[in-house]
């Protein structure tokens, strides 16, 4: 069986430092691939965390998975009652309904790349 699809050539390039940027409590969030204008329900973003800063209060996503890849530095994630330390090159997939938080426990800055499987993070950023 051969798949048939309409060929539309749409793409978006985000160079370093480009993308919608939101600063909240010392965090810099840069949206690299917004869900708006995409046929896929996901959002890709980068978060820069200064030393010893919390990335988010404990929270849960009821209908979306969250994937994080540590670009540089070290980040701690607490998932329900377990804490894991992730260094540059590590990744973590958090399924829906898992309560989690993350923070930078180190004296050096850290950066992560995040992907949510639903694009509602765009709407959240718009409220900040």
> In a structure prediction context, what are the per-residue pLDDT tens digits for the chain, which is 128 residues long?
566 766 666 777 888 888 888 888 888 988 887 776 556 678 889 999 999 999 888 988 888 889 999 999 999 999 998 999 999 999 999 999 999 999 999 999 999 999 988 756 666 666 65
DSSP 3-state assignment of 57?
strand
Task: Specify the DSSP element, H or E, that contains 103.
Answer: strand 100-103
Tokens 């009821």 found at: 62
CATH class of 20-126: mainly beta
**Residue ranges of domains in the chain:** 20-126
In this prediction the pTM is 0.83
Q: Edge to edge, what strands does the sheet with 20-24 contain?
A: 20-24, 27-33, 43-49, 110-116, 66-72, 91-94
Torsion, Cα of 36, 42, 48, 52 (10° steps): 130
């Amino acid at each position: 069986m051969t798949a048939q699809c309409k060929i539309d050539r749409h793409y978006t390039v985000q160079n370093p430092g480009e993308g919608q940027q939101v600063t909240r409590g010392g965090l810099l969030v840069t949206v690299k691939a917004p869900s708006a204008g995409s046929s896929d329900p996901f959002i890709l973003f980068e978060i820069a965390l200064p030393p010893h800063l919390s990335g988010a209060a404990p929270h849960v996503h009821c209908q979306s998975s969250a994937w994080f890849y540590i670009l540089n530095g070290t980040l701690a994630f607490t998932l329900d009652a377990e804490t894991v330390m992730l260094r540059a090159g590590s990744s973590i997939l958090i399924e829906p309904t898992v309560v989690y938080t993350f923070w930078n426990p180190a004296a050096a800055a850290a950066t992560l790349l995040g992907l949510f499987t639903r694009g509602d993070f765009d709407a959240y950023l718009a409220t900040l």
